[in-house]
Amino acid sequence: MGQYKDIQVNIERRIGLITIHRPDRMNALAKSTFSELVDASLMLDADPDVRVVIFTGSGERAFSAGVDLKELNDDGRMVHPMGGPSRNLNEIVLEMTKPTIAAINGVAAGGGCELALACDIRIASSNARIGLPEAKVGMGANFGSAVLPRLILRGAALEMLFTGELLCAQDAYRVGLINHVIEPGEILEYAHELAIRIADNAPLSTQRMKAVATKGIDLPIAAALRLSVGPDLYNSEDRTEGARAFIEKRKPHFIGR
């Protein structure tokens, strides 16, 4: 596992945990942070021993306050989010083959919100706030503008984008942006419990379900049903083991093949 400056990476019980660790900057995303998050995401997605990946921030103030505007101001010119020599972090997270969870432990603004949007499941502490304030600072919310209207009602998404205002956790839950609202200090434990429940299932099943749900979302149902994406679980050892364990009334032992 690589050594990182801005993030921490841990693997336990088949769960990969990526923590943005810049508490003095409210876990703002510097260029180095983006680079490290890309590296860690690709690494965990390729690791056969990891079945679920959790993203969170250090402390209880912020998941991530977004792009580090101080660094951006010092640098001056900004590259288009989909330009430059490196792949976009949010695109990578969105395309990870394994289930991902954003444990939003505080403010998730701008780029921090977009990272959460790229994850499959979002849970938030009751004191969290989430949104895209880019219109207030002359930015574009490129990823959020494309993804948010696919996750919640278009009108609610556009209101968030146009006003740049952050939603409290309860309002984010009300519009369907958040799956669960958890008390502060308990969110990481809850995220781990949820991740374990997912990781205990057949990994080929969850990976195929994610692939079909993601790539078939804009297709007619007839076309989505015929997608051939993700691993072939129907002829896998895990499918045989699952059926045998059900008949024998025991917990299955899935090996991911």
The catalytic residues are 114, 134
Q: Which of 125, 120, 121 is nearest to 57 (CA)?
A: 125
User: SS in 3 state form for 74-89?
Assistant: HHCCCCCCCCCCCCCH
Q: How far apart are CA 100 and CA 51, in angstroms?
A: 9
Q: What's the full length of the chain, in residues?
A: 257
Q: How far apart are CA 231 and CA 204, in angstroms?
A: 6
Q: How far apart are CA 214 and CA 22, in angstroms?
A: 31
- Torsion angle, alpha carbons of 48, 9, 60, 189, to 10: 40
Q: Which helix (H) or strand (E) holds 165?
A: none
Laid out side by side, the sheet with 52-57 consists of 7-12, 15-20, 52-57, 100-104, 121-125, 180-182
The one-letter amino acid code at 216 reads G
Q: Which helix (H) or strand (E) holds 121?
A: strand 121-125
Burial class of residue 97 in the structure, from the number of CB atoms within 10 Å of its CB (0-12 exposed, 13-18 middle, 19+ buried): middle
96: left (phi over 0), alpha (psi -120 to 50) or beta: beta
